[in-house]
Chain A
Amino acid sequence: EDQVTQSPEALRLQEGESSSLNCSYTVSGLRGLFWYRQDPGKGPEFLFTLYSAGEEKEKERLKATLTKKESFLHITAPKPEDSATYLCAVQSHTSNSGYALNFGKGTSLLVTP
């Protein structure tokens, strides 16, 4: 069974203080690993899709990387508007649920001025 574990559960950063969020996964045949951002009471907003180990993607202050066992979301010089919950999800080739996303519980990020 696919498993996704995110750490830390919560992270508080000062504005400009770079850090990384971790997503460890166990999956039989990775179809894709996804990062989403979710603001309170809103739907998840798509950030990145990674398909194979060694792949990296960047968007503004965010950079996502992938290995065979985990993914990192690096946040460089964060701003208060980066405060949100960041969700990691995996999609497997062998799932009986089609293209279902299996999510972790998320990391709640707070960036203070």
Chain B
Amino acid sequence: ETGVTQSPTHLIKTRGQQVTLRCSSQSGHNTVSWYQQALGQGPQFIFQYYREEENGRGNFPPRFSGLQFPNYSSELNVNALELDDSALYLCASRKAGEETQYFGPGTRLLVL
């Protein structure tokens, strides 16, 4: 049990819709990262937030956006959903200055 929670656990959307996924970081962790994991693949880095600002981004288009709140909870927003967005979305938190990231259980998104 890492203390990182995510909601919802599962979600079904249709192509073109928008989705918001939520994450609550482990206590004392002020940095959060989001990853996308397609079936049979390793997680792919989407972006990272520190002090409510994005400070690192992977190869994902601008329709993937995020927010981090003062209580270190965060959101991942995806606009104009595509079929290929179907995946497990993982949130990971860490303490500033430490390298190890602790993952939540993920949100399984299915786009039809």
Contact = CB atoms under 8 A, between A and B. Distances in A.
Interface of A: 4, 31-32, 34, 36, 41-46, 49, 87, 89, 91, 95-106
Interface centre among B31, B44, B100 (most CB of A within 10 A): B100
Contacts, number: 76
Given A41-B108, A42-B106, A43-B90, A99 B99 contact: yes
25 contacts: A4-B42, A31-B99, A34-B99, A42-B106, A43-B104, A44-B90, A44-B103, A46-B100, A49-B99, A49-B100, A87-B43, A89-B43, A98-B48, A98-B56, A99-B56, A99-B99, A100-B33, A100-B48, A100-B56, A101-B43, A101-B45, A102-B45, A103-B43, A103-B44, A104-B42
Nearest to B108: A41
Given A34-B101, A101-B35, 9 more contacts: A43-B106, A49-B100, A95-B56, A97-B58, A99-B56, A101-B92, A103-B42, A103-B43, A105-B40
Nearest to A36: B103
Contacts of B108: 41
B57 interface: yes
Interface in B55-77: 55-58
B51 to A, nearest CB: 12
B45 to A, nearest CB: 4
Question: Taking chain B's interface residues, is the majority helix, strand, or loop, or is none over half, making it mixed?
Answer: strand
A8 B90 CA distance: 24
Given A98-B55, A99-B56, A34 B41 contact: no
A43 B101 CA distance: 12
Interface in B4-63: 4, 6, 31, 33, 35, 40-45, 48, 50, 55-58
Contacts of A44: 43, 90, 103
B41 A101 contact: no
Interface centre among A100, A104, A105 (most CB of B within 10 A): A100
Contacts of B31: 99
